[in-house]
């Protein structure tokens, strides 16, 4: 089953496995530019299809605007055009989101990942206008970001139907875990914009419904198996795709999806030899018993993949 990739002229269209990168910090808790370069290069060498910088996994809430802009510049320099770099534009207000989107456009990002506003609880029309104003004031491709657990707002089909008609809206990152809702959204907008998984463990189920990729966090522990799983899906090798999903991806994902995200992920990255420093407070590192369970999951997943390849 081959995915149909919608086209909006020559604009960037997100698909495949796109890594939502953590933001590395040094031992003093400051932005680690060399760490950004190292992680971007590692992901690209692992075959990843794109990188998101300074989004939720990238601790945007723990970065000031100058740090967000610096991180984007460094990621763009490191990628050097080899893969698309997508800037996280997660902001509570439209004015702030427009400012960040304009900077990303000027800097040369391929797209922006824009969340629905959080905390202030705008109306349905306010949510629509949030995206519409960004589209009006920029020309950069926009990936909608629906994350109800974090924003307390769920983009319904009626809003998505309107948003999908905006020329610069080119995709949706979907964190809704109810596959019934996801199926309806793909049915309504999937012929205009691709819908990508926002949680790694629902990538395969979403693909079967018409999903076209994953904006992934667990790929930071091992990009190659994710790419192999995606290639298996695209070539209808369901057995291999399901094997990787159940025996590699799923146990790793659930070992890091804990409180204080992305602090557990950063610890796991240290355990696999790709450290990114600690998360900033108030996020706390996982306790020893959790680290032990994470190491066990990593060892089991790595052992299974080595024996199955």
65 lies in some domain: yes
The pLDDT tens digits of the residues spanning 208-254 come to: 999 999 999 999 999 999 999 999 999 999 999 999 999 999 999 99
87 lies in some domain: yes
CATH number for the domain spanning 29: value is 3.20.20.70
Domain limits for position 23: 16-237
Average pLDDT for the chain? 94
d(CA 256, CA 277): 16
Residue 144 preceded by cis peptide, ω within 30: no
pLDDT at 6: 60
289 lies in some domain: no
Indicate the pLDDT class of residue 121, thresholds 50, 70 and 90.
Answer: confident
pLDDT at 259: 83
pLDDT at 4: 64
4 lies in some domain: no
pLDDT at 8: 67
Percent of the chain with pLDDT over 70: 97
d(CA 298, CA 268): 8
pLDDT at 2: 45
Number of domains composing the chain: 1
Q: Is 145 a catalytic residue?
A: yes
186 lies in some domain: yes
173 close to 206: Cβ distance less than 8 angstroms: no
Indicate the pLDDT class of residue 43, thresholds 50, 70 and 90.
Answer: very high
pLDDT at 185: 95
243 lies in some domain: no
- Choosing from 173, 207, 266, 267, the catalytic residue is 173
Cβ-Cβ contacts under 8 Å for 84 (sequence gap 6 or more): 12, 14, 18, 49, 50, 51, 110, 111
- Choosing from 128, 131, 145, 305, the catalytic residue is 145
Indicate the pLDDT class of residue 11, thresholds 50, 70 and 90.
Answer: confident
Sign of CA dihedral 15, 214, 98, 59: negative
For residue 241, count other CB atoms closer than 10 A to its CB.
23
135 lies in some domain: yes
Question: Measuring CA to CA, which residue among 49, 17, 53, 48 is closest to residue 35?
Answer: 53
Tokens of 21: 């990168």
Residue 188 clears pLDDT 60, i.e. is over it: yes
The pLDDT tens digits of the residues spanning 123-171 come to: 999 999 999 999 999 999 999 999 888 888 888 899 999 999 999 999 9
Residue 1 clears pLDDT 50, i.e. is over it: no
Indicate the pLDDT class of residue 258, thresholds 50, 70 and 90.
Answer: confident
pLDDT at 152: 84
Q: Is 103 a catalytic residue?
A: no
pLDDT at 3: 56
Q: For the residues 257-281, what does the mean pLDDT come to?
A: 94
133 lies in some domain: yes
The pLDDT tens digits of the residues spanning 56-112 come to: 999 999 999 999 999 999 999 999 999 999 999 999 999 999 999 999 999 999 999
């Amino acid at each position: 089953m081959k995915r149909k990739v919608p086209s909006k002229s020559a604009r960037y269209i997100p698909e495949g496995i796109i890594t939502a990168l953590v933001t590395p910090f040094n031992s003093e808790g400051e932005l680690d530019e060399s760490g950004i370069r190292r992680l971007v290069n590692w992901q690209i060498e692992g075959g990843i299809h794109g990188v998101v910088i300074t989004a939720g996994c990238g601790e945007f809430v723990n970065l000031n605007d100058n740090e967000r802009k610096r991180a984007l510049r460094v990621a763009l320099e490191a990628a050097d055009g080899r893969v698309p770099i997508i800037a996280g534009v997660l902001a509570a207000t439209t004015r702030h989101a427009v400012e960040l989107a304009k900077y990303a456009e000027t800097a040369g990002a391929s797209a922006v990942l824009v969340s629905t506003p959080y905390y202030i609880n705008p109306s349905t029309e306010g949510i629509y206008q949030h995206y519409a104003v960004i589209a009006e004031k920029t020309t950069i491709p926009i990936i909608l970001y629906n994350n109800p657990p974090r924003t307390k707002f769920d983009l319904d089909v009626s809003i998505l139907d309107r948003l999908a008609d905006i020329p610069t809206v080119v995709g949706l990152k979907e964190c809704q875990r109810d596959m019934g809702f996801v199926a309806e959204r793909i049915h309504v907008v999937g012929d205009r914009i691709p819908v990508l998984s926002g949680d790694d463990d629902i990538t395969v189920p979403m693909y079967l419904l018409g999903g076209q990729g994953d904006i992934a966090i667990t790929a930071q522990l091992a990009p190659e198996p994710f790419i192999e799983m995606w290639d298996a899906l695209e070539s209808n090798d369901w057995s291999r795709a399901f094997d990787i999903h159940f025996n590699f991806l799923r146990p790793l994902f659930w070992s890091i999806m804990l409180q204080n995200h992305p602090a557990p992920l950063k610890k796991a990255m240290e355990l696999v030899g790709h450290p990114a420093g600690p998360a900033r407070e108030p996020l706390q590192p996982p306790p020893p018993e959790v680290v032990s369970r994470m190491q066990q999951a990593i060892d089991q997943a790595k052992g299974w993949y080595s024996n199955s390849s």
